[in-house]
Structures are given as C-alpha cells and as structure tokens.
Structure 1
Amino acid sequence: MSQDSSSSNDDGGVVEGNIGEPSALQKHVMFFDINKDGVVYPWETFKGFRAIGCGIPLSVLAALFINLGLSSKTRSEKGFSLSFPIEVKNIKKAKHTSDSGIYDTEGRFVASKFEEIFKKHARTNPDALTSKELNDLLTANRQPKDYAGWLAAYSEWKILYILCKDKQGLLPKETVKAVFDGSLFERMAKEKASNKKA
C-alpha cells in the first residue's frame, strides 16, 4: 500500500504524489518509453511524436532536440552515450529554467502554479489560452539571458498549442493539465489510432 506524499511547497501550493509512484514529470515522459525499460531513445521519442499525430519532420526534429538536450542531464553519473538515452527515473534533473513552475524540483505537479497561469494570462476565456496569451506567458517566465530555457519553453508550449488548440484557436485548460499530469499523450495516441481504423 502506497503512502501519500502530498505536501506543500514554498509557494503554498499542493504537490501531488504517492511514495513509490512515478512523479507527474515521469508520467509525462513515460509515454515515450515504448518498450517500458525506463530509458527513452531518440527512435522512441520519434515514434511517440508520430503516435500523437506529428508529421515526420517535426517528429525527427523533436527526437533530436529532446534527446540531445536531455540525455546527459539524466545520465550525469554514467557519462556520454552516442545513443542519447534519457533515463526516466532521473528526468527531474533535466527540468529546464524559464519554465512555469508547474513541476517542482522533484517533478511533482504543483496545483497552485497551474492555476496561476490561467488567473494571470487567460483573459479572453478563463479556461483557455489564446496564441497571444501563450506568448505573454512565455515572456513572463523568461529569466534574463537564459536562452536555452527560453527555447525549451517556447518549443514545448508551441508544439502543444499547434497540436491541441480548438477550432477557435484556444488551448483548453483541461488539455494543459493533461499534458502536465501525463495523461494527454496516451489519449491523443488512442484517438489517432481510432481515427485510422475508422
């Protein structure tokens, strides 16, 4: 039986999770671990992006960008590997700067930080973000001269917006939450597979 490990962070927000269970950030990454061995290789990242509906060029670019950028951070004790593996258990070490703070330093979901995004930036619709509001969010989170962090945040949010905006050009709050708690990718892959069969 798992023990609840929910606790408050420095900002007063509740972080969720149980001892022995993957963190929200690990769940976010585990979708791409195709063979479930705890390691994500570039070809798995590619397959994961294809499974959620990305084209070949974007999937190749994402695999290169993500694995080349995160591999060494999650394997700091093991050294460089030409296969650029990402170790899921250490993904918290690859958390980039200039981010939203929705994941804490342990990779747990911080509800107060999530809600803060929509309180501050969702002006057109309280439960969604427009493209401009998303740009405002990215600008607000930038740390000075943190170019790598800016690029990482921009890439993540823009890909999410392109893939998940609705017909009105809005990125729904429930979709954003689903990407952070790790459930969105599985849902998108199932929907794509279902549409193929249809």
Structure 2
Amino acid sequence: MPSKSKVEQTALEKHSAFFDTDGDGIIWPMDTFVGCRAIGFNLLMATLAAIIIHSGLSWATMRFPDPLFRLSVDNMQKAMHGSDSTTYTAQGDFDETRFNRTFELYTQPPHTSMSLGDIITMLNGQRNAYDFVSELVHIYAH
C-alpha cells in the first residue's frame, strides 16, 4: 500500500520516510542499514541499528506479526515508547520545544551534535519504569 503524500504525513512519518527510498511505505531492514550508512554509521553500528530497530519496532507498526521485520511508515507513531526523547508527540507531530530542551539537556556546549555517549545518557535520563527497550540499552551500555 503506498504511503501518504508528503502533505498528509506527520513529522514522524516524514522522518521515517528518509529510510523508505522507494516510497512504498515499507522500510526493510536493509533500507535502515543503507540509511544509517548514509548518515555516517560504520558497518557494525549500521548493522546493529537495523537489527535493534526492526526487531523492536516491527511488531508495533505492522497489522500482523511480520516475519521479515519490516516497518510501516504510516504506523510509525505506534512504535513510540515511553523512554524516547519525546521530540515527537503521541500523534507523530514534531515538537520543536521538546527537541530543543532535550538537545540542550543532554549535549555538551555548543550543542551542535550528539555523541553516542550523549544518546546513552539521554536514554537513561528519559527511561520509564517497565520500558524494556530502554532497559536493554541501559544494561548493554554499562
């Protein structure tokens, strides 16, 4: 099923669509790997990102369990979890105030980029009880 037009998409769907290079509304694990490489991840980190993202979020974005671990761009807001950055609202809209607050809180001056350590610190700082995805990040980061 083709995805919504750019005008109809929420900010979260537009963000996710970066990885949907063929525009069919479905993100394959290889799409995520290629997208992560395009933004500068090394081979190991791009592979881990694709595995973690797709194994953790596929079940939430697809109508039925998907043995191929694909993601649906149109349902990406269903994959949001309690310990994320809160940059996107529950409806998938971008909240610039939340983004700026989170970025300033968890990055070092001059607040121009976020390191892996900053990301781990942010995830730990935003962690909610019973959010097992963030709990796994916490365990493996230490």
TM-score with structure 2 setting the length: 0.75
What corresponds to 1:12 in structure 2? Answer: none
Matching of residue 80 in structure 1 with residue 53 in structure 2: no
Task: Give the structure, 1 or 2, with the largest relative contact order (CA under 8 Å, sep 6 or more).
Answer: 1
Matched residues, number? 135
Q: Unaligned 5+ residue runs, structure 1?
A: 1-18, 159-198
Q: CA RMSD in A?
A: 3.1
Does the Cα contact within 8 Å between 1:99 and 1:153 map onto a contact in 2? no
Deviates more, 1:131-140 or 1:61-70: 131-140
After superposition, residues 1-16 of structure 1 pair within 5 angstroms as: none
TM-score with structure 1 setting the length: 0.56
Question: Which amino acid in 2 is paired with 1:89?
Answer: D
Residues 109, 153 of structure 1: alpha-carbon distance in 2 compared, 3 angstrom cutoff: farther
Matching of residue 35 in structure 1 with residue 26 in structure 2: no
User: C-alpha displacement at 1:107, in angstroms?
Assistant: 1.0
User: C-alpha displacement at 1:91, in angstroms?
Assistant: 0.2
Question: Which amino acid in 2 is paired with 1:34?
Answer: T
Please list the CA deviations of residues 88-112 of structure 1 after superposition, one character each: whole Å capped at 9, or x if unmatched: 0000000122122110001111122
Please list the CA deviations of residues 76-133 of structure 1 after superposition, one character each: whole Å capped at 9, or x if unmatched: x3x12222110100000001221221100011111221232255455x5263477676
* Percent pairwise identity: 34
Instruction: Give the whole-Å Cα distance in 2 for the aligned partners of 1:117 and 1:42.
Output: 28
1:127 corresponds, among 111, 126, 129, to 111
After superposition, residues 10-29 of structure 1 pair within 5 angstroms as: 20-29=7-16
Instruction: Give the whole-Å Cα distance in 2 for the aligned partners of 1:109 and 1:154.
Output: 29
Question: Bigger radius of gyration, 1 or 2?
Answer: 1
